[in-house]
Amino acid sequence: MDVLLGIDTSNYRTSLCLVTMEGEIIGEQKQLLTVEEGEKGLQQSVALFQHIKRLPLLAKEMAMDDKNLVAVAVSRAPRPVEGSYMPVFLAGQAAAEMIAHFHQVPVYYTTHQEGHIAAGEYTMNKPLAADHFLAVHLSGGTSELLDCTRTQSGYQIALIGGTDDLHAGQLIDRVGVALGLPFPAGPYLEKLANESQEATTEEFAVPSSVNGYTFSFSGPETALLKAVNNSEIPRPAIARAAEKCIANTLEKVLRRVVENGFARDILIVGGVSANAYIRSRLVKRLEHPAVKARLHFADPAYAGDNAFGTARLGLIQYKRRKKTNII
């Protein structure tokens, strides 16, 4: 069986994925990097070292019996823009180029952001028929609003908005760590928020900050961290307030974008997009007949960092070049 290997070495996860020529996952391994208790992230040098150690260990867990490797795809930069660079992606690129050389197969390059969008496209619960759409990339390292068009090898992406300080994932992680939750805090904060008993009149909330297509999370962070030190505010209420602030912020921005004539098909990807409360609130507000947006989400299992999207983009390039005999 012919297979293609996808590799992604992001800030917080090492990921490998094997897909068939039909794009179906036939094997994958992914593992979060280790962050010490109480820490809010990793230095690039530490993350790079962990990737180098984990890549061969994860590879050994993937059976290659009866499989014929025809190509390798790897994300070698954060975004498809000039000068986009992070050292962590060197680990995946080095591994991909070495594997490709010894197997005498082609290596195809893409970016982490394009991989997120592709993972969203190929795992969401309803098809995205439009070639031109909006994407919202929400994670610990990115909070961007993107105007996207499919191309022969990936996506043409134009940045039209986003945060001017903290990212959505950073807000969740910083508040989560302050609440004593493990890092990365997303799933733990969501579980804590679900314990909240929201009152109709005295619900704790923090305001969102939006200016055009730009938004800010530094003010909400200050208010939420202040609340952590207030014994009268329940911890679950603080967690829910963080979720609601992100949802309200996105709602305001996306309403404005749709009203100004951008595409109504909106694909939301990245680790934060796995949050069920944020998803349901956005669907309720933005798919309302008064707005008429069409929201699409990645499968929660592939909302965070993964190599599946990378592999699918590599498969597109492999098939296109095979047709023209330039593999």
* Tens digit of each residue's pLDDT (9 = 90 or more) over 192-214: 999 987 644 358 999 999 999 99
The answer to whether 247 and 277 have CB atoms below 8 angstroms apart is yes
Residue 123 lies in a domain: no
Q: CA geometry: angle at 188 spanning 62 and 202, to 5°? A: 155
Residue 268: CATH number of its domain: 3.30.420.40
Is 172 in contact with 242 (CB distance < 8 Å)? yes
pLDDT at res. 327: 53
- 148-194 pLDDT, tens digit per residue, is 999 988 899 999 999 999 999 999 999 999 999 999 999 999 999 99
CA 226 to CA 18: how far, in whole Å?
Answer: 46
Cβ-contact 70, 2 below 8 angstroms? yes
d(CA 299, CA 268): 10
Residues 14 and 111 in one domain: yes
Contact 116, 312 (CB under 8 A): no
- 29 with 153, same domain? no
Same domain, 192 and 220: yes
pLDDT at 200: 41
How many whole angstroms separate alpha carbon 159 and alpha carbon 162? 8
State how many domains the chain has. 2
Indicate the average pLDDT of the chain. Answer: 94
For residues 26 and 7, state if they share a domain: yes
β-partners of residue 31 are 14
Domain of 310? Answer: 2-118+304-323
- Residue pair 224/238 in contact (Cβ under 8 Å)? The answer is yes
User: How remote is the C-alpha of 93 from its chain's centroid?
Assistant: 19
Spatial neighbors of 57 by CB under 8 A, at least 6 apart, are none
> pLDDT band at 326, cuts 50/70/90?
low
**3-class SS string, 33-52:** CCCCCCCCCCCHHHHHHHHH
Task: Give per-residue pLDDT as tens, 10-56.
Answer: 999 999 999 999 999 999 999 999 998 878 788 999 999 999 999 99
The whole-number pLDDT of residue 195 equals: 94
User: Within a domain: residue 81?
Assistant: yes
229 pLDDT higher than 50: yes
Q: Are residues 157 and 281 in the same domain?
A: yes
Residues 6+ apart with CB under 8 A from 19: 3, 4, 6, 25, 26, 308, 311, 312, 315
Same domain, 27 and 44: yes
Q: What's the first-to-final CA gap in the chain, in angstroms?
A: 19
Question: Same domain, yes or no, for 268 and 148?
Answer: yes
Q: Specify whether 110 is located in the same domain as 181.
A: no
User: In angstroms, how far is CA 87 from the centroid of its own chain?
Assistant: 18
Question: Which letter, b or e, does each residue of 190-206 get, where b requires 16 or more Cβ atoms within 10 Å of its Cβ?
Answer: bebbeebeeeeeeebeb
CA separation for the pair 251, 127 (Å, rounded): 22
